[in-house]
Structure 1
Amino acid sequence: MSAQPEASVAPAMTDPAVQARQRRLRLLARTDRDTLEAAFAALPEQPAWRRLKQPETGLAMVRARAGGAGQRFNLGEMTLSRCVIALEGSSVMGVGYVQGRDQRRAELVAVFDALSQDAAGAARIEQLLIGPVEQDLAAKRQQRAAKVAATKVDFFTLVRGED
């Protein structure tokens, strides 16, 4: 009875290509449908693809940790849509998972994922979509932080002169 070493998982986690794809998918999943449609329309060539998994909507269990680091527990379920596509004429597959019921959005995320899996495609998608979305999300995060900071209240305790 020997335990399998987890070293086989570690290289994938530190692989720059895997990290870049994770970043792209994270940003694509947070991109609204109008932005995805506009970027798709702006592509120099409209790609052809076939659906390996039809867009579908379902539920996923969301897990959390007590206190952020304690025991895991089931927080609840969330609605998500997913799609898996393959570009025509190649073996490149793209996946799309998005929060909510927007199946077209999940399909567009999968298309952009597939298009960005080669170096030239990744650079084009980065310039066309990922970079602007990342800047927009950072600006929104900064606005939210400024709004929160404006309402911040510092509490302090005065010490009475008695023991």
Structure 2
Amino acid sequence: SSTGTWTVVWTDLLTACDIYRAKAYRVDPVPGTSDQYFAYIAYECDLFEEGSLANLTASIIGNVFGFKAVKALRLEDMRIPFAYLKTFQGPATGIVVERERLDKFGRPFLGATVKPKLGLSGKNYGRVVYEGLTGGLDFTKDD
């Protein structure tokens, strides 16, 4: 993801795009392939809200994965400057507290996302959650 459009628009004149646009600083061919590449892209840290993982991932991963001109795309690595990492407070509690709250020890937590994501009434959503939890899930999440 970068400045949001592949087309020059008049609103570009209102922004500091040259400062904030993504910078592809290196492109290397994938060994053993003729049409695949590793692209190295950098962003200014000022683009991202401090302490917001949601903002960071939406900005980096964002809409580019849905861009029809791109046949295949995979995020291989993400390097985050230490100064930006320090803005994250971390979770309010650790895994020990969560295990005590759920009384679950000695195994990984198991969770799932309720599907379908849209269209369930409150009653039916509750039923799906109930069935999942009684079936062995430790938690469910809502997208």
Q: TM-score, length-normalised on structure 2? A: 0.22
Higher relative contact order (CA closer than 8 Å, sequence separation 6+): 1
Q: TM-score, length-normalised on structure 1? A: 0.20
More helix by share: 1
